[in-house]
Every structure is written in C-alpha cells, then in structure tokens.
Amino acid sequence: DHNDIERLLNLADGAPLTALQLANENKIAVYDNFKKDFYHLFENSKNHLSFAQQWSKQEIHLLLDWLFLLLKESLIYQLGSCQQ
C-alpha cells in the first residue's frame, strides 16, 4: 500500500532499489520492533544488555541508519510541537 511504500523509501533514505530490498526482507516489521525496543530502553522497561544482545545480530549500518532516522523523527516531532 502507499503508506508502506513511503515508509520503505524513508527507511531507505529515498533510494528505491534499497527500499525494494528492504521490502523483500520485511524490514518494516524489523524496524518497528527496533523502534519499540529502543523506546522501551529509554523508558527503562528494557534491559540494556538484552537490547544489545538482541540487536547485535543485525547489520551495523542498518542499525545506525535507523538510529539516525529515529533522531530525525524525534527532532521533527519536537519542532512541530514547539511551533503549535
């Protein structure tokens, strides 16, 4: 669907072939789990060691891209709420 395409392109930083690869590997679901776990980590409802062990199995460049994306999303959210 259109929303998934936008999310995939966002996860792939606008690169359509990378987005296609992410779609084929069902990375939207993996990213959603990473995002949920990351927020739980900062709410202290997830153990740091278990988070590190679980996500160390993923490709490091993918995790770094996702961390950057989470930071970007958080900044956009903060800026949007400041302007209201």
pTM, two decimal places: 0.80
The whole-number average pLDDT for the span 54-73 is 91
pLDDT, mean of residues 20-47: 91
**3-state SS record for the chain:** CHHHHHHHHHHCCCCHHHHHHHHHCCHHHHHHHHHHHHHHHHCCCCCHHHHHHHHCCCCHHHHHHHHHHHHHHHHHHHHHHHCC
Tokens matching residue 54: 């679980």
